[in-house]
A and B are shown apart, each in its own frame.
Chain A
Amino acid sequence: MSRVLLIEDDRAVRDAVTLTLRRRGHEVEGAATGGAGLAAMDTFRPDLVLLDLMLPDMSGFEVCRRIRATQQIPIIMLTARGDDIDVVLGLEAGADDYIVKPARGEVLEARIRAVLRRAAPGDGGPDPASLQPVEIHGDLTVDRKGLLVAKHGQDLPLAPSELKLLLYLSATPGRVFSRQQLLEHVWEHSYHGDARLVDACVMRLRTKVEDSTRSPKYIQTVRGFGYRFGPL
């Protein structure tokens, strides 16, 4: 189904996760170190990276940053350290989601599917603009079919979660979404997930689309409620 690169130093966890994901139809390549994982990025060409945070040669944050520097491939952090600082650092480094160990095969599968699922055109509800091939919001052009966002004609390198969030918000400009709503729709977390995923993603998205992150124009914070796109 999809090609998953698993970067995990513990052999038992690596084998177990590989086993359960293969059973579910994924093609899995295991890497025991960050270096091996980065090398496999070119040879294996995965659709998604499952990344452990504690690796012998370099930290998972560093691996995440290095992958993000060149590729917008989905990355899910797989961490035994559920402590807040690790989660926040991982999300800031550009991860799309995180899973705290231990996790059942079905949880892994659900998260992988959610991150891999392409932002379906107009999945924010009935949208008159969906008929047009390309929407224009200020300096941004959004191509829902081609899943491209450009600013001043230049394509923006958006990570999957960033793209999905932007597409979801911009489908109904001016409408306010709570973080819980965004978690449910963009990350497909059906329970009360971690609102920091939303905050971290908004922060990363702003650095890419806004002229000034201090006074955001496109993704605005509505204190006490959540976020909205525009109105411009």
Chain B
Amino acid sequence: MPALRRPSLRAVAAGLRARLVLAFLLVAALSALTTAALTFREARTAILKRTQDTAIEALRSQVNSQVPDYAFPLSQQALQDLQHRLNAAGSAQRWTVYVRYRGSGLVPGGDHGRVLPRGVQEKVRAGIPAFQRLDSGGDPWLAIGLPVTYRGSNEASGLEVYAQMPLREDEANVQALVKAAQSGALPAVALAAVPALIAARGVLRPVRELRRASRKLAAGELDTRLKVTGRDELADLSRTFNDMAEALEENVAELRRMEANSRRFAADVSHELRTPLAAMTAVVDVLDDDADSLDPDTAYAVRLISEETGKLARMVEDLMEISRFDAGAAALHLDEVDVSETVRKTLQARGWQDKASADLPEGVRARLDPRRIDVVVANLVGNALKHGGEPVDVAVRVAGEGAGRRLLIEIADRGEGIDPEVLPHVFERFFKADSARARSEGSGLGLAITLENVRLHEGTVRAANRPGGGAVFTVDLPLRQGGGETA
């Protein structure tokens, strides 16, 4: 199953919509993250700075208020007293105060190197107030150092005051800030999906319409146009598509017009020929009847003209029939008939019973246009008699089962067969197997008309050579039954 799912997943990921949404979300996440990080840094700095400033200010004011109570130089006792009082005053800040006088040890004593960085102590010793944030045992601490000067002058008194305090509360504030940033960014990214989807839709809708319009155009709906909205690249694309469709429609219309013109011309010519032919055809019998009483030359001329008139009439008929097919005006008048009976009638009507042997099973009923099938069978049998060799075998068969049943009509002759090079062209109009050969008796349209008639029945007709010699033409029609009304 994974083998099946993978391509589909890939297809989804490769989709324009998925890609657009993904890109959009990525941008949203990145900007949210950057904003959060910057905000966090600024806020953290601001919080810590305020704490430091407050602490330094508090210590300074305490020192300013306490120190003047003591007389300099300070005794060890006074120093300890001062430390004690400053320490007590810092309960709000929870600081621990250390003092030092003139390079002596820190009060209260002990190892304070860790909490009071050396850098701070050195700066204070040089008379510069200093502070430093440090990490002690995983907890953040702040160390402050103040040098004390005599009032009114910059002369160092030798007293140094240090304080250290935990920054854990501030750190908690900062942590809360991080959390806020995190919980803010996630919904923001999630929310970004909404405009992402809308934007993707906005882009995809014209693309989809373009796809649908292209399909319609390909299916032949040449009047398909897109609605152009806006002035973006997609609108340009839609406009270009419309221009293309218009050009296509114009070209096709022009081609159709030309085709219709040439068809109408063929039909008109045939039709105009019909009227004089009608007059000629009507009187050829009269000429034939009188030919016997004329002198031989005139009789020959009369018979020739009579014969040729008949051929001309048939050819015009065939031309008109072909032009009807070309114009799509050939209608199918379906009727359920006995196929064998229909074929037998065709052979009888033309006096071919003796020349063609028929294998016609009883009871094969099919929905056909009997007139057109008559033309098909007559053309194929006539062709076989003319170009093949007698006797001609005509067979009706049913092949296949159920809904896919086919009706096969086979017409085989015993002649020399058809030249394999000629075989693919036998159904072409006016095709002559041998260009040097004299004009044949038919119009050259018989097999083309056969093909069109079979096609009208949604069937096929094939020509082939039999292994034992001779050609075989197979008409293959879908076998439909039921319903008797003219369609």
Q: Footprint of B on A, CB under 8 Å?
A: 10, 12-13, 15-17, 19-20, 23, 80-84, 101-106, 108, 178-180, 190-196, 199, 221-226
Contacts and interface: CB of A to CB of B under 8 A. Distances in A.
B289 A195 contact: no
B337 A180 contact: yes
A140 B62 CA distance: 138
A83 B280 CA distance: 22
A230 B284 CA distance: 47
Contacts of B282: 13, 16-17, 19-20, 102-105, 108
A225 B313 contact: no
Contact of B485 (A10, A16, A20, A221): A221
A192 B371 contact: yes
B342 A225 contact: no
B335 A179 contact: yes
Given A13-B282, A23-B286, A224-B481, A195 B333 contact: yes
A180 B485 contact: no
Contacts of B286: 19-20, 23, 105
B349 A223 contact: no
Nearest to A223: B484
A104 B281 contact: yes
Nearest to A226: B484
Contact of A192 (B279, B283, B284, B370): B370
A19 B290 CA distance: 13
A224 B482 contact: yes
B305 to A, nearest CB: 14
Nearest to B371: A192
B279 A15 contact: yes
Contacts of A180: 337, 341-342, 345, 370
B308 interface: no
B275 A23 contact: no
B345 A192 contact: yes
Of the candidates B275, B282, B331, the one having the most CB atoms from chain A within 10 angstroms of its own CB is B282
A101 B286 CA distance: 17
A192 B374 contact: yes
A41 B376 CA distance: 42
Q: Which one of A84, A103, A178, A224 has the greatest number of beta carbons of chain B within 10 Å?
A: A224
B328 interface: no
Given A23-B289, A83-B324, A180-B345, A224 B271 contact: no
B453 interface: no
B277 interface: yes
Given A103-B278, A192-B371, A192-B374, A16 B333 contact: no
Interface in B253-300: 271, 274-286, 289
Contacts of A221: 484-485
Nearest to B271: A80
Nearest to A178: B337
A20 B283 contact: yes
B281 A103 contact: yes
Interface in B292-348: 310, 313, 316, 320, 324, 329, 331, 333, 335-337, 341-342, 345-346
Contacts of A20: 282-283, 285-286
B324 A104 contact: no
Interface string B349-377: 10000000000000001000011011000
A226 B282 CA distance: 35
Contacts of A193: 371
Contacts of B277: 101-102
Given A23-B286, A80-B271, A199 B486 contact: yes
5 contacts: A10-B278, A13-B282, A15-B279, A81-B271, A223-B484
B481 to A, nearest CB: 7
B485 to A, nearest CB: 7
A134 B342 CA distance: 37
B324 A80 contact: no
A225 B336 contact: yes
Nearest to A103: B281
Contact of A222 (B342, B371, B482, B484): B484
A182 B365 CA distance: 18
Given A17-B282, A105-B283, A105-B286, A192 B484 contact: no
Given A10-B279, A16-B279, A192-B349, 9 more contacts: A80-B271, A80-B275, A101-B278, A103-B278, A178-B337, A192-B371, A196-B486, A221-B485, A223-B485
B483 interface: yes
B482 A83 contact: no
Nearest to A82: B320
Contacts of A223: 482-485
A85 B422 CA distance: 39
Given A104-B281, A106-B285, A191 B275 contact: no
A192 B346 CA distance: 8
B71 to A, nearest CB: 136
A223 B481 CA distance: 11
Interface in B443-487: 481-486
- Looking at B279, B341, B370, B486, the one whose CB has the most chain A CB atoms below 10 A away is B279
Q: Which of B310, B373, B484 has the most CB of A within 10 A?
A: B484
Given A84-B331, A192-B342, A102 B482 contact: no
Given A105-B285, A191-B345, A226-B484, A80 B278 contact: yes
Contacts of A225: 336, 484
A12 B333 CA distance: 34
A13 to B, nearest CB: 5
A144 B458 CA distance: 46
A191 B329 contact: no
Q: Which 9 A-B pairs have the closest CB atoms?
A: A102-B281, A101-B278, A12-B279, A105-B285, A102-B278, A16-B279, A192-B374, A16-B282, A224-B484
A198 to B, nearest CB: 9
Nearest to A105: B285
A39 B282 CA distance: 26
A89 to B, nearest CB: 14
Contacts of B289: 23
B5 to A, nearest CB: 53
A223 B281 CA distance: 40
Contacts of A19: 282-283, 286
A16 B329 CA distance: 31
